[in-house]
Chain A
Amino acid sequence: MSFRHLWAVIRKELQHILRDRGTFILVLVTPTLVLLLMTYSLAVEIQHVPIALLDYDQSPTSREFIHQITAGDDLDLYENATSMEQIEDLLIKGKIKAAIIIGPEFSQDLLAMRGLSLQIIIDGTEPETGGFAVDHIGWRAESFANDILADQILTSGISLDSLEPIDLRIRSWYNPSLKPRIDIVPGLLSIVLGFPAFSVALTLAREHEHSTMEQLLATPISRIELLLGKMIPYIMAGLVNVIVIPIIAIAWFNVPFNGNFLEFLLLSAIFLFAELSMGMIIGVFMKSQSAALALSFLVVLFPGFFLTGIFFPIAALPEMARMESMFLPGTHYAIITRGVFLPGIGMDTLWPYAIMLVILGTAFTGTAALFFKKKLA
């Protein structure tokens, strides 16, 4: 392989990245923007869930109950309803996500230990809010009941702390308060750092569209030299991102970084090799930029989101999807980024994933070279 040829192509492509506004933005600016945007809107702690209450009891106990329920930030009292129709209306219009209906005999039932005369209605159309509402309302109701019934329980000769015999000690490693922002950011990193793959898919198509491909093919450059020459500049740009974006993540979002940065750099370079060669295959098959971009959305972006185990645990995916996810470099890199940031593990544990990425990268590049003919037709 001629390094002169390789270097000539790399240089030309680098000049293009630096001089073409669209490419520059796509490769070097978009990843950061997307990371910021996504973190702010996805890693959201649920709070201020609007609920409505319908109190048929209207007793001091029920009013105390209402007070307790809405005491915190998690549930917001939107409306003190006066009828069932109103509740229905509010739910349908989406103004409230849950409603609590306090039965007419609430306080009597409670004190007589006949149960909590409550009906909780939740809006099942939104993923997290319904479950959240049930959990939080349930906890508050339970502790309310505990308080009220405290005396009665004591008189029946049971000590309060025997009400929950099992001492459940919960610890959460790496992310003690289970803040979604902390663990989502490394996951998102693995998505945004793969963005240069789009540009790689475009670069071959661009030569076609700008009529420079023909001239390029007439020169004695070999396929590998051409493909690698076009890929390497984007790996380089990707590495710039690898250095800059984690710094932003750490500084802005307070995400801990416990691993070895040099190892991370190396592993990221390998990932870029694999991910970008995936983009290269797309580029080899598509002759127009629009087609290349559309295909990369379908094959790289969307699966990258859903199948790499960042938002949906891979274990929970159906068998076939799990197999597919093994072929995505993003899946392995997500494990690497999560591992390097939070637990801070290193090459000694992560090497199998590195090997996997090398294999994928070589396979993809090889396939691209195989199908890339130096002929116009």
Chain B
Amino acid sequence: MTDKEFIKITDLTRKFKETIALDSINLTIQEGELFGLVGPDGAGKTTLLRTLAGLLGISSGEVRAAGCELHKNTETIKSKIGYMAQEFSLYGKLSVLENLQFFGEMYDVPPALQKERIPGLLAFAQLTDFTNRRAAKLSGGMKKKLALACTLLHQPPILLLDEPTTGVDPVSRREFWNILNDLHLDGTTIIVSTPYMDEADRCSRVGLIYQGRIAICDSPENIRQKIEGEFIKIVTNDWQKAREVIHPIKGVLEVQSYGEALHILVDSSTKRLGQIQNTLQKNKLEIMEIRVIKPRMEEAFISLIRKMGQTN
């Protein structure tokens, strides 16, 4: 393992009763990467993160992190990892400060350093005014920020975050990601799972996990480019009918619905744009918008997943 291969996962498999939760996962994360993990619910994001955090056992395979094998040195590695669970609940009866101090102690942060770092963390989490408030009395967004602060207190080189921004208001979400970026620039290796595609876009690399397997692992641009074809977006007055009539057109590879709009994957936009327009008009459908768009992560993933579903 080279120095740059900070986290190396080889053939990681985890079976739980009859289900294969993780199926021969191979993944190498470089030091300082900001790696995004996406996938539908139940695909295995949380399982993978928990395994990396040492909370679940492995059936076979190997995980090496920061130079040690994870499952032989689980407890020592934990001090190098900051893990934030999806349902991270804090100790309700303890105050914000007491919660931070507790985790500081658990991660062996010397009291002097705690004193130094805590004010900064409180400031970033905008909890300075709530320092002595019982954690149970914080709003959902504040709780998540406090949770992140607790994870950062010991300045671990590796951060594992399980859907850290779910349930957080958009403004706070953006602030969160600013922090993550700062940490990323500082050299922290971060693996973050997220259901939000725009967040996936901000990562250095993204891994799509589907049914326990890594379907694709690449930089966001490369993934978007992997899609063969182009997307045409149309907005009509009856999207269901539109979808029906467009599907059979030759050259239409996929039709994805987004509310009122349809994103149509075609082999060539120049060839098909006119055909689609004609078909819609023939069927007395009113066209409110029709143009070529660049595929976003969302489209790319839905397309990839559908393809994988078909091959299965």
A interface residue numbers (CB < 8 A to B): 2, 4-5, 7-8, 11-12, 15-16, 19-20, 210-212, 214-222, 374-377
Q: With contacts A16-B93, A20-B93 known, is A376 near B102, CB below 8 A?
A: no
What A residues does B53 contact at CB under 8 A? 218
Whether A15 contacts B89 by the Cβ 8 Å rule is no
Among A4, A12, A219, A377, the residue within 8 A (CB) of B56 is: A377
Whether A214 contacts B87 by the Cβ 8 Å rule is yes
Identify which of B91, B98, B101 contacts A212 (C-beta below 8 A). B91
Q: Nearest Cβ in chain B — how far from A340, in angstroms?
A: 36
Other CB < 8 Å A-B pairs besides A7-B105, A212-B91, A376-B50, 15 of them?
A5-B106, A12-B91, A16-B93, A20-B93, A212-B89, A214-B87, A215-B89, A215-B147, A215-B150, A217-B55, A218-B53, A218-B81, A219-B106, A220-B78, A377-B56
**Given A12-B91, A16-B93, A219-B78; A211-B85 close (CB under 8 Å):** yes
Evaluate contact between B89 and A221: CB separation under 8 angstroms: no
Q: Would you list 14 pairs from A and B whose C-beta atoms are within 8 A, ordered by A residue?
A: A2-B108, A12-B102, A15-B98, A16-B93, A19-B93, A212-B91, A214-B55, A215-B150, A218-B83, A220-B78, A220-B79, A220-B106, A222-B75, A376-B50
Please give, as numbers and ranges, the residues of chain A lying within 8 Å of B103 by CB-CB distance: 219
Cβ contacts under 8 Å, A16 to chain B = 91, 93-94
List, in ascending order, chain A residues with CB within 8 A of B54's CB.
Answer: 218, 374-375
A222 CB to closest chain B CB (Å) equals: 7
Contacting residues, chain A, for B92 (C-beta < 8 A)? 210
B16: Cβ under 8 A from any A Cβ: yes
A215 to B102 CA separation, bound complex (whole angstroms): 12
Q: How many residues of B contact A (CB 8 A)?
A: 34
Nearest CB in chain A: distance from B148 CB, A:
12
Q: Is the CB of B102 within 8 A of A8?
A: yes
Residues of B116-136 at the interface with A, using a CB-CB cut-off of 8 Å, are none
Closest beta carbon of chain B to A3's beta carbon, Å: 10
Asked whether, in the complex, the Cβ of B88 is within 8 Å of the Cβ of A211, the reply is yes
Most buried by B among A2, A212, A214, A218: A218
Which residues of B (31-76) have their CB < 8 Å from a CB of A? 50, 53-57, 74-76
Of A7, A11, A212, A222, most buried by chain B (CB within 10 Å of CB) is A212
| Distance of A52 from chain B, by nearest CB (Å) | 61
B55 in complex: contacting residue of A212, A222, A376, CB < 8 Å: A376
The smallest C-beta distance from B198 to any residue of chain A, in angstroms, reads: 27
**A375 surroundings in chain B (CB, below 8 A):** 54-57
Q: How far is the CA of A4 from the CA of B93 in the complex (A)?
A: 21
Q: Return chain B residues, CB-CB under 8 Å to A218.
A: 53-55, 78, 81, 83, 85
What CA separation (Å) do A218 and B154 show in the bound complex?
13
Q: Is the CB of A5 within 8 A of B105?
A: yes
Return B73 CB to nearest CB of chain A, in Å: 11
| Residues on the A chain within 8 Å of B98, using CB | 12, 15
A5: chain B residues within 8 A (beta carbon) = 105-106, 108
Q: A12 is contacted by which of B50, B94, B147 (Cβ under 8 Å)?
A: B94
A20 to B134, CA, bound (A): 12
Tell me whether B231 is interfacial, beta carbon within 8 Å: no
CB-defined contacts of A4 to chain B, threshold 8 Å = 105, 108
CA distance A16 to B98 in the complex (A): 12
CB-CB under 8 A from B147, the residues of chain A are 215
Complexed CA–CA distance, A214 and B46 (Å): 12
Cα distance A362–B147 in the bound complex, in angstroms:
36
Q: Do the beta carbons of B106 and A211 come within 8 Å of each other? A: no
The 3 closest A-B pairs by CB, nearest first: A8-B105, A211-B89, A218-B83
CB nearest neighbor in B for A19? B93
* Residue of chain B at shortest CB distance from A17: B93
Contacts of B108 in A (CB 8 A): 2, 4-5, 220
Task: State the Cβ distance, B27 to closest chain A Cβ, in Å.
Answer: 20
Query: CA–CA, A181 to B45, complex, Å?
Result: 63
**Docked CA distance A221–B76 (Å):** 10
Closest A-chain residue to B150, C-beta based?
A: A215
Distance in Å from the Cβ of B262 to the closest Cβ of chain A?
40
Q: Does B107 contact A (CB under 8 A)?
A: yes
Q: Give Cα A218–Cα B92 distance, bound, in whole angstroms.
A: 19
Most chain-A Cβ atoms within 10 A of its Cβ — which of B56, B103, B107? Answer: B107
Candidate in A210, A220, A377 with the most chain B CB atoms within 10 angstroms: A220
Task: Please tell me if the beta carbons of A220 and B75 are within 8 angstroms of each other in the complex.
Answer: yes
Which of A19, A20, A219, A375 has the most chain B CB atoms inside 10 A of its CB? A219
Contact in complex: A15, B106 (CB < 8 Å): no
Tell me the complex Cα distance, A4–B105, Å: 6
Query: A343 CA to B89 CA in the complex, in Å?
Result: 53
B81 surroundings in chain A (CB, below 8 A): 218
Q: Which of A2, A7, A19, A375 is the most central at the interface, judged by chain B CB atoms within 10 Å of its CB?
A: A375
CB closest chain-A residue, reference B85: A214
Distance A20 CA – B94 CA, assembled complex (angstroms): 10
Please give me the residue from chain A that is nearest to B79 by CB atom.
Answer: A220
The distance from the CB of B152 to the nearest CB of chain A, in whole angstroms, is 13
How far is the CB of A1 from the nearest CB of chain B, in Å?
Answer: 12
With both beta carbons as reference points, the residue of chain B lying nearest to A221 in the complex is identified as B106
Contacts of A216 in B (CB 8 A): 106
On chain A, the residues within 8 Å of B106 by CB distance are: 5, 8, 216, 219-221
Q: Does B285 contact A (CB under 8 A)?
A: no
Q: Kindly provide the distance from the CB of B70 to the nearest chain A CB, expressed in whole angstroms.
A: 12
Are A215 and B88 CB-contacts (below 8 A) given A220-B79, A221-B106? yes
Q: Does B227 contact A (CB under 8 A)?
A: no
Chain B hits for A374, CB < 8 A: 54-55, 74-75
Residues from chain A with Cβ under 8 Å of B107 in the complex? 219-220
Give complex CA distance A55, B102 in Å.
80
Closest to A216 in B: B106
Complex Cα distance, B155 from A251, in Å, reads 57
Q: B90 within 8 Å of A by Cβ?
A: yes
Minimum CB–CB distance for A226 against chain B, Å:
10
Measured CA separation A375–B56 after assembly (Å): 5
- Pick the contact of A15 from B74, B78, B79, B93 — CB < 8 Å? B93
